Amino acid sequence: MPTARRSRGNAAAWKPATPRRLRAIRDRLRAAYGRPVPRAHRAPVDELILTILSQNTNDRNRDVAYARLRERFASWDELRDAPVGEVEEAIRPGGLGPTKSVRIQEILRALEGDDLRWLEDAPLDEARRALCELPGVGRKTAACVLLFSYGRDDVPVDTHVYRVGSRLGLFRPGASFDEAHDELLRLTDPGDAYEIHVGLIRHGRRTCTSRAPRCRECPLLDLCPYGRAVTARS
């Protein structure tokens, strides 16, 4: 069957998951990998810059680029007003330096000195909307800032979370990343956002990998339509 027809068929058969189902997934992931402990650091601008640096690179290169920025510039204001070439040079180990340097300075200019600490107590929708209005900031970056800075209930959907969640049937087949964010938010109990995010990432890195998911060893196999179909065929 052509891919488009198959995907329409899957979408037609898909039924939204329930919070109870996500709770069951959470509990299995907790048993497999342990319960992650959130550590809200209350530094939203730092988190914003760090998340921009994380695009299209791994954690190690991101951290090197971030450390070099902090070493090179005494404050975010100084970074904002620096020649863009200096910023680009500082973050080069993180990749995409020309793009990220411009983006970071655009964001800092758009903030006009706002330290974003008001995000801690603002209504969640309002906080998310304000972040998404910044240049180049989308739902994932906004959710990272809200979750990691203040432990607020937003779940970043990166490629691991999207892939694992899609295979588990949490997202409508073909759903956009924004739709996946909305769906995961609907399913996640208050206070569970960090554990859901970290649990799905750990699972995506260790078991439900992109090219060769280890379905037969997976603690979620009986909850996973994709895994059940794969193991039934082989």
**Binding-site ranges for ligand SF4 (CB under 6 A):** 164, 167-168, 207-208, 213-215, 218, 220-221, 224, 226-227
In the bound state with ligand SF4, the residue whose beta carbon lies nearer, of 41 and 206, is: 206
Q: Which is nearer to ligand SF4, 142 or 220 (CB)?
A: 220
Q: What DSSP assignment string belongs to 65-102?
A: HHHHHHHH-SSHHHHHHS-HHHHHHHTGGGS-HHHHHH
Residue 182 near residue 157 (C-beta atoms within 8 A): no
Minimum CB–partner distance for residue 5 and ligand SF4 (Å):
22
Q: Which is nearer to ligand SF4, 108 or 220 (CB)?
A: 220
Using the minimum distance from each CB to ligand SF4, give the nearer residue, 23 or 70. 23
Beta carbon of residue 70, minimum distance to ligand SF4 (angstroms, whole number): 37
Q: How far is the CB of 204 from ligand SF4 (least distance, A)?
A: 8
Burial class (CB in 10 A: 0-12, 13-18, 19+), 134: buried
CB of 139 vs ligand SF4, minimal distance in Å: 23
Query: Where are the alpha helices (H) located in the chain, listed in sequence order?
Result: 3-13, 19-33, 44-53, 59-72, 76-81, 84-90, 97-111, 124-132, 139-150, 159-167, 177-187, 193-206, 225-233
CB 209, min distance to ligand SF4, A: 8
Complex with ligand SF4: residue 143 or 220, whichever CB lies closer: 220
Indicate the residue type of 15. K
